[in-house]
Amino acid sequence: MDILKVSTKSSPNAVAGAIAGILREQSVVCVQVIGAGALNQAVKAIAIARAFVSEEGIDPICIPTFHDVDIGGESRTAIRLQVEHRTDRLQTDMPNPQPPEGETGTTIQA
């Protein structure tokens, strides 16, 4: 499985192209990030890649996990986003839930 390492400075469009290219060849690609900025770029890239491959019948989903990595002798926690082609079409055939009329959704503050 290929691991794409994304940083805060990564271009979402470039990463999306890489994700789409790998998904066309394989069914799984792993995107690894450390930090909030890198995670932001990776999530944008996955959304863009989804649009790139949707017309080809590829329906990507994202499964996040934590992974300990060693960088310069220091242990860091990375987030790995496993992007894979969804094979269960039942989930995609369900309509998107809509909030009740007059409501825009629920806001949760933590």
Provide the domain limits for residue 69: 3-88
Our measurement of the distance from residue 20's CA atom to the centroid of its chain's CA atoms, rounded to an integer in Å, reads 11
**pLDDT for the residue 92:** 47
pTM of the model: 0.77
Q: What is the pLDDT of residue 1?
A: 73
26 assigned to some structural domain: yes
Question: In sequence order, what DSSP letters do the residues of 41-104 get, joined into one string?
Answer: HHHHHHHHHHHHHHTTT--EEEEEEEEEEEETTEEEEEEEEEEEE---TTGGGSPPP-PPTT--
pLDDT 10s digits, 57-104 = 999 999 999 999 999 999 999 999 999 998 765 444 544 555 556 555
Is residue 8 in some structural domain?
yes
For the domain that residue 28 is a member of, what is the CATH number?
A: 3.30.110.20
Arithmetic mean of pLDDT, 8-25:
96
**Number of domains observed in the structure of the chain:** 1
Provide the terminal-to-terminal Cα distance of the chain, rounded to the nearest Å: 36
